[in-house]
Structure 1
């Protein structure tokens, strides 16, 4: 009797679409993310620029209306970019509040208003601007959708804990963003890729803390020390390497990232096991290591 072939690479494989391999066996691109605000949102800046250029040679009223429409279109495109970034951050997190400002909805409204002003410039009246403006707004919503309208993962968590989790996550994400920005100054693609892998490891732990915030104080201390140290070391390395192309500094920095990454792998489960005594020892060891590397952390 014929049997259907199956394996982890088959559509009905045992993995079920999840990457259940050990961390060490995952590829370098594991956790890579596509930029949420890409060309499809950036292209919406172009109509505003074109409208402004075409309005310069019009009369006073036509130029004023055209420039106003261009400003509205550019503002809408800018709001759309922010809305897409906020939506991506919302979907990346297990526990998240909906965006405070519905930027994508406002962007659609501004797109409609800008299109209406552009239509009025060519065909003064009420019917044409309403038709073109309504069509532009509807197409904008169809292309980009609306903002998340409900909180996610907040069931059973009180408001005070929600706010504390959000502050810890935002602080950790700010350190990771600063690391990514700083390492670009070094101009070394291999180091940038290595930092991206470290950021992916750190975000795995951040997501774990979001799912189980029972030891939030320990998590905050752990993340603050590790990520603040990693950020400061990255800034120091980028400045040195950009000036002198020091290969020894590069090697030391890569080794430090490896040590920190291994610490994240080992300590995620320990952090959630309420083993605070071991955690404090590990944090002090890390402080000593970073001080030897020339990174001094202010105790909080």
Structure 2
């Protein structure tokens, strides 16, 4: 029988399997849709700038207005897609406060209509451009989420509490990511990504069972805010004058936080399992009092 060759210099030899926390924040990540064709929207209207300065004052004003409307539409489209991706990534989320993609569709139609007016004058052509531009943009990029997303059996007040805490926690994580980039330390960035992955595991656990919010609030609020402040201070210090001792302390802090968040998340999941077992036992007792006898495997 053939045997795979391996030695101490083989890539996989002696390497321990990765734990979930060592896989970084790319675990479960998906490619963003806010690229490619969205970026083309920023370049497509640029010829209007050349046309604007090669004609009279009326055409100048119309072309620049069309250029501004189309660039604003491109920016709103990108922001709308990012907001929708954040909405889809969560199990409990509020709809975006501003329907960015819908406004972008209207601005696209407005920009094309004004550009057509600068070229064709007052006629049916600008109206056709406006209607087609609005419709095609809407078909290409879709509509914004129009309703809040929650879970069955969870009241709106509890869903709003979870959504607010998740939004706040994601804000802390984003601030930490922006700050650590200033330090220019790849190892610190990778270590922070592992912590962020662990924090997001807790966020998903709280979204699965909003009753865990009370137990996790201190972690997602006080501890995460402290981690953000420490990251900002470390990044500022490291950017001015690298300090190996401060760096070691910061990395040790991230490691401690990761362990604490992991332990708390496991405790929350264990509590959820215990609650399920209790509900099953209560249901079994009620059925037996009604004269219905079930095998253990029926409700296990």
Q: What TM-score, normalized by structure 2, do the two folds share? A: 0.77
Return closer, same or farther for 1:213/1:66 CA change in 2, 3 Å cut-off: same
1:51 pairs, out of 33, 48, 53, with 48
Aligned position for 2:231: 234
Q: CA deviation at 1:209?
A: 0.8
Contact 1:214 1:272 (C-alpha < 8 Å) held by counterparts: no
Contact 1:47 1:70 (C-alpha < 8 Å) held by counterparts: no
Structure 2: give runs of 5+ residues left out of the alignment.
1-17, 273-300
2:131 pairs, out of 134, 143, 150, with 134
SS in 2 for 1:71: helix
SS in 1 for 2:70: helix
Q: CA deviation at 1:273?
A: 5.8
Aligned position for 2:259: 262
Q: CA deviation at 1:234?
A: 0.7
Q: CA deviation at 1:28?
A: 6.5
Structure 1 outlier segments of 4+, above 4 Å: 24-28, 272-275
2:146 pairs, out of 146, 149, 152, with 149
Contact 2:205 2:268 (C-alpha < 8 Å) held by counterparts: no
Aligned position for 1:285: none
SS in 2 for 1:138: helix
Q: CA deviation at 1:100?
A: 2.6
2:212 pairs, out of 215, 219, 223, with 215
Q: CA deviation at 1:134?
A: 2.7
Deviating more after overlay: 93-102 vs 131-140: 131-140
Q: CA deviation at 1:226?
A: 2.0
Q: CA deviation at 1:72?
A: 1.1
1:73 pairs, out of 70, 81, 84, with 70
Q: CA deviation at 1:154?
A: 4.0
1:191 and 2:188 correspond: yes
Contact 1:97 1:150 (C-alpha < 8 Å) held by counterparts: yes
What is the alpha-carbon distance in structure 2 between the residues aligned to residue 68 and residue 59 of structure 1? 14
Q: CA deviation at 1:88?
A: 0.9
What is the alpha-carbon distance in structure 1 between the residues aligned to residue 161 and residue 226 of structure 2? 22
Q: CA deviation at 1:272?
A: 5.7
SS in 1 for 2:26: coil
Q: CA deviation at 1:102?
A: 1.8
1:118 and 2:115 correspond: yes
Equivalent positions of 1:265-276 (< 5 A) are 265-271=262-268
Contact 2:49 2:63 (C-alpha < 8 Å) held by counterparts: yes
What is the alpha-carbon distance in structure 1 between the residues aligned to residue 155 and residue 25 of structure 2? 37
Contact 1:31 1:200 (C-alpha < 8 Å) held by counterparts: no
Cα RMSD after superposing both structures: 2.3
SS in 1 for 2:81: helix
Deviating more after overlay: 64-73 vs 149-158: 149-158
Aligned position for 2:97: 100
Q: CA deviation at 1:242?
A: 1.0
Q: CA deviation at 1:44?
A: 1.4
Contact 2:108 2:133 (C-alpha < 8 Å) held by counterparts: yes
Return closer, same or farther for 1:28/1:57 CA change in 2, 3 Å cut-off: closer
Greater radius of gyration (CA): 2
For 1:229-257, what per-residue CA distance to the aligned partner results, in whole angstroms no more than 9, with x for missing partners? 21111112111211222223222222221
Q: CA deviation at 1:219?
A: 1.9
SS in 2 for 1:44: helix
1:160 and 2:142 correspond: no
Structure 1: give runs of 5+ residues left out of the alignment.
1-20, 276-300
Matched pairs, number: 255
Q: What TM-score, normalized by structure 1, do the two folds share? A: 0.77
1:87 and 2:88 correspond: no
1:181 and 2:145 correspond: no
